[in-house]
Structure 1
Amino acid sequence: MVNENDAEASFVPMSSAPDKWLRKEHLPHIWCPGCGIGTILRQVIEQFTKLGWKNDDVVFVTGIGCTGRASGYVNAQTLHTIHGRALPTATGIKMARPDMHVVAMLGDGDGVGIGGNHFIHAAKRNIGVTAIVVNNRIYGMTGGQVSPTTPQGSKSTTTPYGNVEPSMDVCKLALGAGATFVARVHTANPVYVGQIIGRALQHDGFAVVEVLSQCPTYFGRFNGMPDPVQMLQWFKENTFMAKSPEDEKEGKIPIGVFKDDKTTPELSKSYRNLWEA
């Protein structure tokens, strides 16, 4: 079993993935200095390369938000959908073209806030889509508003005195709704991020990888961590390897692979088996 420490010890130089998987004419990107989304996207396209996938065989879907901009940079079949609707779009694509590798990259607000109901039903259906949820714990693009995953007590533009609501746990939601691969990682260890995304991409069913990511511009600046390095250090100091999101250790956040079910039928295959019968 791969763990975070193994990932740190087995660093491998980056490949030439950007040459194949990025639309260089659209670079440089528009993300803020220190944002974690670029780190995550790099790991995604590294895995595309390692798996030997072809550009025309990958559908990369995003919604609205900072993360939504990623589809403009990826050299594949891409869709930039409306807010919260990346997963139903991805579901339709997978049902129509089960031979395609369908990947949805979501923000926390886009994925489990505005798109929360779609997230639940994609998990329940076990559609063969990989959902990469970039959790920066705030609405970054629209002005730093509180999001479903903003920790209780944290400040935002709409909670200047601290968030009074409990935060939503993306992995617990995914598990409760029926996702068959569920994991949480963080951007302070990008190699481990890549390894887990690689496993999720190969999973035959609905796979969720929550990536804790830094947003120094809004979350960090409002909560005493304006330097992205501070946020990365916070991830290292406040997470631990676990087997379940229910595990507890001094109030720290559990990370790791929480579920990898290879037995539950994937939706598009179940439909085709029904037709053939």
Structure 2
Amino acid sequence: MKTVIDDYIREEMFPHMWCPGCGNGIVLGAIIRAIDDLKWDRDKIVMISGIGCSSRITGYVDFCSMNTTHGRALPFATGIKMANLDLKVVVVMGDGDCSAIGGNHFIHAARRNIDLTAIIINNMIYGMTGGQYSPLTPTGRFGTTAPYGNIDQAFDLTSLAMAAGASYVARGTVYHVRQSISLMKKALDKKGFSVVEMISDCPISFGKMNKMRTAVEMLKWIKDIAVSKKAWENLSVEERKEKFVIGEFLDIDRPEYNERYNEIIKKAQKMGGNE
């Protein structure tokens, strides 16, 4: 029986290469369903990724797509959007890809407020390269490079995006799929830089280092640590440890980068007598 998914994937690329229980497939399904609900023209969609487990998504979708270098998905996406304003540009990144080597690009894409949608799959680990801890690994959790526990404070990626200047910011999880699809639809349809962080599971690299041996265990854990904004307000500082707030955090309108850039072009032409 044909499904919505079948209309948007490259069947020749399957079966996929993700590990059993990986949350990337759930995120892929959520993205496709959000795009299908919006009724976008597939020929007008470009999906960009960097390097990592999440980057395979661009190989599986039946859109124009590009797999770029590690941490550089946003600069590539920026160039594509500026070259053709009619395109819907979606960027899929992992937590390390976005917040470590790509962190500088992330904050400046938000600062510019360029019309892109960034979907960050946060499985709290470098899953593809051996299970090293990332800037989003919770304090105290284990990785192959943190065998005694991570002592770093993790980024709050949604707060970082808001402080840097994004127009839309939200967080969902691979457990709360319906909510995540709704958040993605709003992000995709938002003019300006929009961000959806997706808390995901990696049962092979993160799970095995943190006493969660199966995807089911990890999904139950994600369910337990995900808290609505209303419930979050009633938690003490101690109760908030290792928990995430999920939902929509920011939805504002401000000038988009290409709009302002075109104004500069017109101003330069006028000043040069070449209107």
Please tell me whether the aligned partners of residues 15 and 46 of structure 1 are also in contact (alpha carbons under 8 angstroms). no
- 1:18-57 matched pairs, under 5 angstroms: 18-57=5-44
Q: Give me the whole-angstrom Cα distance separating, in 2, the residues matched to 1:137 and 1:245.
A: 21
Secondary structure of the structure 1 residue equivalent to 2:65: strand
- Paired position in structure 1 for 2:259: 269
Secondary structure at the aligned position of 1:195 is classed as: helix
Q: CA deviation at 1:20?
A: 2.1
Give distance in 1, aligned partners of 2:184 and 2:209. Answer: 30
**Structure 1 residue 243: deviation in Å?**
6.9
From the superposition, tell whether residues 181 and 237 of structure 1 become closer, same or farther in structure 2 (CA, over 3 Å): same
* Displacement of 1:274: 3.3
Matched, 1:107 2:108: no
Amino acid at match of 1:112: S
1:209 and 1:267 mapped to 2: Cα distance? Answer: 20
Equivalent residues, number: 263
Whichever of the two has the greater Rg, that structure is 2
Distance 1:33 1:178, change over 3 A: same
Q: CA deviation at 1:113?
A: 0.7
Is residue 26–residue 73 contact of structure 1 (8 Å, CA) maintained in 2?
yes
Give the Å deviation of 1:15. 8.3
1:13-92 matches, cutoff 5 A: 16-92=3-79
Percent identical: 47
1:9 corresponds in structure 2 to: none
Q: 1:97 to 1:258 in 2, by over 3 A?
A: same
Q: Does 2:243 match 1:256?
A: no
CA pair 119-245 structure 1, distance change in 2 beyond 3 A: farther
Structure 1 residues without counterparts, runs of 5 or longer: 1-13
Q: What is the aligned-residue RMSD (CA, Å)?
A: 1.8
The corresponding residue for 1:137 is: 124
Is 2:164 the partner of 1:173?
no
AA matched with 1:192: Q
Counterpart position of 1:11: none
Unaligned runs of 5+ in 2: 268-275
How far did 1:248 drift? 5.1
